[in-house]
Amino acid sequence: MKSIDTIAAELAAYDPQALNASTVSHFLARLVEPVTQQEEVGIFQALGRVLALDVVSPISVPPHDNSAMDGYAFDGAQLAAAGPLTLRVVGTALAGKAWSGQVQRGECIKIMTGAVMPAGLDTVVPQELVKLSADTASITLAPGTVQPGDNRRRLGEDLLQGQAALQKGELLTPAALGLMASLGIENLQVWRRLRVAYFSTGDEILSLGEAPREGAVYDSNRYTVFGLLTRLGCEVIDLGVVRDEPALLEAAFVHAASVSDAIITSGGVSVGEADYTKAMMKKLGDVAFWKIAMRPGRPMAVGRILRDKSASSPYVTSASSYKNNTDDPTPAASEAAILFGLPGNPVAVMVTFLAFVRPALLRMMGRTASEPPLLKARSSEAIRKKPGRTEYQRGVVSLDVDGTLRVKTTGNQGSGVLSSMVRANGLIVLPHSQGDVAVGDEVRVMMFDGVI
Ligand code: AMP
Ligand code: MG
């Protein structure tokens, strides 16, 4: 792993007072490393987890050619002749109950969706496209009704035996669970959950349940961070609110590092407060304080807090529950917890989380690269934007009657206006060198749905 100092030194080649946001996320990706312990979970526990091994299909799906429609199955070679085709109905194939007889030229069988196609038959004509004789003993289809091979699902057309079904590092989505079940797989090998501890800082921050007092505000960041982490599939450890007091902060960091893979704090990283935090961080690990050319969310602290070796490791007691079949000798192999010191303003917390923390945590969780897709939408309004910083504006995307995606901002972009984050359905990402946006210009939007 690169030391934070090396990374900070590399970053110093850029303007340290105005780091480009994409440069920062690039460096963060190099600071963090994926977890190395795996565990086996049942399919119902696997949703949202990250696959630790490739899954090769043990069977073919579907396991045999079968009908895609309710209709009549026959040998499509007989369609060659011009004029209507009349076929005698000699039997019935149901899903789960195959027809075992022989079907000759001039014959067909009634077949239901999912039923096995008898040998030699390759075509199904839907029942609504044929004329059934009065005695129901034969059908007639007009020329051109179907082509040979129509309405037949081929053996292995979803997956062939031996083919890669899912790959290590993939997120287990509802579709992936279904796919695994279709292969008869009940248990999956996944990376262990990432443990993330978080706390808020500030003398003015009230926890829920505390009586309001002059100059104080209720903590919102802990709840937002709880939601963001939970949605990501992390194990969360809530360490409350820590007062702006060096000794308390130090104790909180030491404890957090002893129970987690990553620590997220909010507040206390802006100029002024940073000085004593900086001194403490030097003592506890290696942390860099970055000023990022972005809005909102300029100041951020990133680094590693060393685990107190004398303190008991968070993983030792639960080690037996991990199936540790990697080359990692002990569950608590990593010596430090990664720290993300986010700004205090509630919107800045969410934006810096989405821009930097989320991609880094995904990597730690063992996910293979997964950039959230950015939609292109036309701006319904002019947006003022200074080149030289990345701006994230809260946006509301909607579909126009003409089918165009349009986006407007939520108005006041103050970094404390959390209500606008609720109203927005995405963040308009205005890149570093971008200038003012005119009405009708195309902009990129990171949609919340699927990301948070
Ligand atoms: P700071 O970065 O600590 O100077 O905080 C910047 C602003 O964010 C101040 O107005 C704080 O009151 C506010 N703030 C900090 N932490 C929280 C929090 N956990 N919940 C709500 N507001 C906060
Ligand atoms: Mg503060």
Ligand 1: which residue has its CA nearest to atom 17? 344
In this prediction, residue 372 carries a pLDDT of 83
Q: What atom in ligand 1 is closest to the CA of residue 200? A: 19
Instruction: For the chain, give every residue range classified as CATH 2.170.190.11.
Output: 66-153
Long-range contacts of 181-186 (CB under 8 A, 24+ apart): 181/43, 182/61, 182/158, 183/55, 183/57, 183/58, 183/59, 183/61, 183/159, 184/58, 184/59, 185/43, 185/55, 185/58, 186/42, 186/43
Q: Which fold has domain 375-447?
A: Beta-clip (2.40.340)
Domain 66-153 has CATH 2.170.190.11: yes
CA neighbours within 13 Å on the CB side: how many for 282? 5
In this prediction, residue 282 carries a pLDDT of 82
Instruction: For the chain, give every residue range classified as CATH 3.40.980.10.
Output: 4-37+192-364
In this prediction, residue 9 carries a pLDDT of 74
What count of other Cβ atoms lies within 10 Å of the Cβ of residue 400?
11
Q: Which fold has domain 4-37+192-364?
A: Molybdenum Cofactor Biosythetic Enzyme; Chain A (3.40.980)
**Span from the CA of 31 to the centroid of ligand 2 (angstroms):** 26
In this prediction, residue 232 carries a pLDDT of 96
CB proximity list for 145: less than 8 A, separation 6 or greater: 125, 129, 130
Q: What atom in ligand 1 is closest to the CA of residue 204? A: 12
Pocket lining: 439 vs ligand 1, CB cutoff 6 Å: no
> Distance (Å, rounded) from C-alpha 310 to C-alpha 396?
51
**Span from the CA of 15 to the centroid of ligand 2 (angstroms):** 26
pTM over 0.85: yes
**Span from the CA of 346 to the centroid of ligand 1 (angstroms):** 7
**Span from the CA of 102 to the centroid of ligand 2 (angstroms):** 81
CB proximity list for 93: less than 8 A, separation 6 or greater: 67, 73, 99, 109, 110, 111, 112, 115, 116, 117, 118
Is 437:367 a contact under the CB 8 Å cutoff?
A: no
Pocket lining: 296 vs ligand 1, CB cutoff 6 Å: no
> Distance (Å, rounded) from C-alpha 205 to C-alpha 225?
15
In this prediction, residue 31 carries a pLDDT of 87
Mutation probe of ligand 1 site: the residue of 201, 210, 217 with most atoms within 8 A of C-beta: 217
Pocket lining: 205 vs ligand 1, CB cutoff 6 Å: yes
243, amino acid identity: R
> Per-residue DSSP letters for 174-201?
HHHHHHHHHTT--EEEEEPPPEEEEEEE
Pocket lining: 297 vs ligand 1, CB cutoff 6 Å: no
In this prediction, residue 16 carries a pLDDT of 61
DSSP 383: B
**Span from the CA of 244 to the centroid of ligand 2 (angstroms):** 7
Mutation probe of ligand 1 site: the residue of 205, 269, 291 with most atoms within 8 A of C-beta: 205
Taking only the tens of pLDDT, the chain with its 452 residues reads 567 777 777 777 777 667 888 888 888 888 899 999 999 999 999 999 999 999 999 999 999 999 999 999 999 999 976 889 999 999 999 999 999 999 999 999 999 999 999 999 999 999 999 999 999 999 999 999 999 999 999 999 999 999 999 999 999 999 999 999 999 999 999 999 999 999 999 999 999 999 999 999 999 999 999 999 999 999 999 999 999 998 999 999 999 999 999 999 999 887 666 677 778 888 899 888 888 999 998 899 999 999 976 655 444 333 333 344 444 433 344 789 999 999 999 999 999 999 999 999 999 999 997 778 899 999 999 999 999 999 999 999 999 999 999 999 999 999 999 999 999 999 999 999 999 999 999 999 999 987 87
Instruction: For the chain, give every residue range classified as CATH 2.40.340.10.
Output: 375-447
> Distance (Å, rounded) from C-alpha 349 to C-alpha 306?
24
**Span from the CA of 168 to the centroid of ligand 1 (angstroms):** 39
